[in-house]
């Protein structure tokens, strides 16, 4: 913090980078108001230096506005976020990042048509802006416009074929529509194009798990954890697979091992805390939830889980303090659960509009990027099973260790095999 404050006082020409770094520091320790003040001050300083900055500094200044806008949006202050993005666009022109931010604000405010306008402007400003294609496609998927979502995902993949999250979103759409084999083919294509995108393996493992293909699911999550043990979501999937198979003894140990490898993953703390609640170990659960809030004070589900726990044990004072803290961070009540987005998608899919037309604007964009992804022909040569079989069992070292812990809970932890 002192270093950042010295940088701000030095009035250097790249002020945006200094203020941005300082704000990110404050956010990481839960000082949302402090971060907001720093970003506002940074934007004012950037305006003062506008005449002497070169183009690269102007680009960073736009990113500063984007960070402030996203802070407001994540704090459930969509109207304020919209104003920040609008001011940024007026100063920095057609920044694809700022246009995407404006689109996300409109989505949050429930204004889909206005959101579509900003999404279209964002991808027109930068055809390779994968996050814009993805976010637009996800909005249409949630709205039940599946043909439109499919076209947008294909546009994004054509423009940015190595963006793993686009393949993941497209495969998720197909899986939610019940097209299991098509989803598997898309996951297979995704891991071939983006072998380092670990969430693809995790999502594919979840798909196989839901289909009852536990051996395939274990191989996939094993590959994911072999590639990166520090991604906590992988440990969550691994634990869920064991839970589905009735291996209750392994679930808690896998989650604890996950926290050893990913100590900053908030959802691991929440999931393990729920396990403790089910065992009526409320103090242990509270300790886990509070630790989770320390490492990620912006993770809304932690507040809700802790609020439910305090209400369950009639800790009125604790609940009041938690509500106050949640209101400061999110402008909301801790007892209000986060939106069940996946369940909402499922409901939309069940009553979705399967015959909807592709809007002219989306069709024009598809022509511009020359979408030629044909699932029936281009990707049908892929064999998902053979791709899974090629994956190593690196995760077995961890499973052996965890199983050993069940049998020898009092023995000293053994070192893991190096992959």
DSSP string, 179-218: -HHHHHHHHHHHHHH-TT-HHHHHHHHHHHHHTT-HHHHH
pLDDT in tens, 326-348: 887 776 665 566 555 444 444 54
Report residue 411 as tokens.
Answer: 């023995």
DSSP 104: H
Residue 404's pLDDT is 54
pLDDT band at 52 (very low <50, low <70, confident <90, very high): low
Upper half-sphere CA count for residue 267 (Cβ side, 13 Å): 8
For residues 184 and 190, give the distance between their C-alpha atoms in angstroms, rounded to a whole number: 10
pLDDT band at 367 (very low <50, low <70, confident <90, very high): low
Residue 78's pLDDT is 93
Neighbouring C-beta atoms of residue 238, cutoff 10 Å: 29
pLDDT at 68 over 60: yes
Helices marked H in 1-129? 2-9, 15-28, 32-48, 55-74, 78-92, 96-108, 112-125
pLDDT in tens, 76-114: 899 999 999 999 998 877 789 999 999 999 999 999 999
- Whole-Å CA distances, 245 to 182, 217, 248, 260: 25, 12, 8, 24
pLDDT band at 57 (very low <50, low <70, confident <90, very high): low
Burial 318-356 (b: 16+ CB within 10 A, else e): bbeebbebbeebbebebeeeeeeeeeebeebbeebeeee
DSSP string, 25-38: HHHHTT-HHHHHHH
394 within 8 A of 234, measured Cβ to Cβ: no
pLDDT at 36 over 90: yes
Taking the CA atoms of 53, 55, 60 and 64 in sequence, report the sign of the dihedral they define.
Answer: positive
For residues 325 and 305, give the distance between their C-alpha atoms in angstroms, rounded to a whole number: 14
pLDDT at 403 over 60: no
Residue 46 φ then ψ, to 5°:
-65, -40
* 66-75, 302-311, 385-394: the lowest-pLDDT one: 385-394
Neighbouring C-beta atoms of residue 240, cutoff 10 Å: 19
Higher pLDDT, 337 or 183: 183
- List of residues 6+ apart from 340 with CB closer than 8 A: none
How confident is the prediction for the chain on average, in pLDDT?
Answer: 84
For residues 151 and 87, give the distance between their C-alpha atoms in angstroms, rounded to a whole number: 31
pLDDT in tens, 202-241: 999 999 999 999 999 999 999 999 999 999 999 999 999 9
Taking the CA atoms of 298, 300, 301 and 304 in sequence, report the sign of the dihedral they define.
Answer: positive
Cα-Cα end-to-end distance for the chain: 38
Higher pLDDT, 357 or 417: 357
pLDDT in tens, 250-266: 999 999 999 999 999 99
Q: What's the full length of the chain, in residues? A: 419
Q: What is the reported pTM?
A: 0.80
pLDDT band at 411 (very low <50, low <70, confident <90, very high): very low
- List of residues 6+ apart from 53 with CB closer than 8 A: 13, 46, 61
Report residue 322 as tokens.
Answer: 């938690």
Write the burial class of residue 311 (CB in 10 Å: 0-12 exposed, 13-18 middle, 19+ buried): middle
């Amino acid at each position: 913090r002192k270093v950042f404050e010295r940088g701000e006082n030095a009035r250097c020409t790249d002020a945006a980078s200094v203020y941005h770094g300082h704000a990110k520091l404050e956010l990481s320790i839960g000082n949302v108001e402090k971060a907001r003040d720093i970003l506002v001050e940074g934007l004012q300083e950037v305006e003062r230096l506008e005449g002497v900055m070169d183009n690269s500094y102007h680009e960073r200044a736009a990113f500063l506005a984007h960070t402030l806008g996203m802070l407001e949006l994540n704090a459930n202050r969509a109207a304020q976020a919209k104003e920040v993005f609008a001011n940024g666009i007026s100063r920095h022109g057609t920044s694809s990042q700022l246009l995407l931010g404006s689109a996300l604000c409109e989505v949050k405010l429930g204004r889909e048509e206005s959101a579509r306008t900003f999404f279209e402007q964002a991808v027109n400003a930068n055809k390779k802006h994968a996050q814009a294609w993805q976010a637009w496609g996800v909005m249409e998927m949630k709205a039940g416009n599946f043909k439109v979502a499919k076209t947008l995902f294909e546009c994004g993949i054509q423009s940015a074929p190595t963006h793993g999250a686009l393949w993941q979103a497209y495969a998720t759409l197909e899986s939610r529509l019940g097209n299991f084999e098509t989803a598997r083919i898309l996951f297979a294509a995704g891991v071939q194009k983006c072998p380092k995108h670990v969430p693809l393996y995790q999502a594919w493992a979840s798909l196989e798990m839901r289909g009852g293909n536990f051996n395939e699911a274990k191989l996939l999550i094993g590959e994911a954890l072999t590639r990166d043990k520090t991604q906590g979501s992988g440990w969550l999937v691994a634990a869920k697979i064991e839970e589905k198979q009735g291996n209750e003894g392994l679930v808690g140990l896998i989650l604890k091992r996950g926290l050893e490898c990913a100590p900053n993953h908030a959802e691991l703390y929440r999931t393990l805390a729920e396990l403790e609640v089910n065992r009526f170990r409320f103090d242990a659960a509270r300790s886990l939830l509070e630790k989770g809030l320390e490492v990620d004070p912006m993770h809304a589900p932690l507040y809700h889980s802790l609020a439910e726990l305090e209400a369950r044990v009639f800790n009125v004072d604790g609940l009041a303090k938690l509500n106050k803290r949640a209101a400061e961070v999110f402008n909301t009540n801790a007892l209000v659960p986060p939106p069940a987005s996946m369940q909402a998608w499922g409901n939309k899919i069940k009553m979705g509009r399967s015959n909807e037309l592709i809007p002219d604007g989306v069709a024009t964009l598809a022509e511009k990027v020359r979408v030629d992804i044909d699932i029936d022909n281009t990707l049908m040569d892929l064999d998902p099973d053979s791709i899974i079989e090629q994956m190593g069992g690196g995760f077995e070292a961890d499973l052996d260790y965890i199983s050993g812990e069940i049998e020898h809970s009092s023995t000293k932890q053994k070192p893991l095999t190096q992959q």
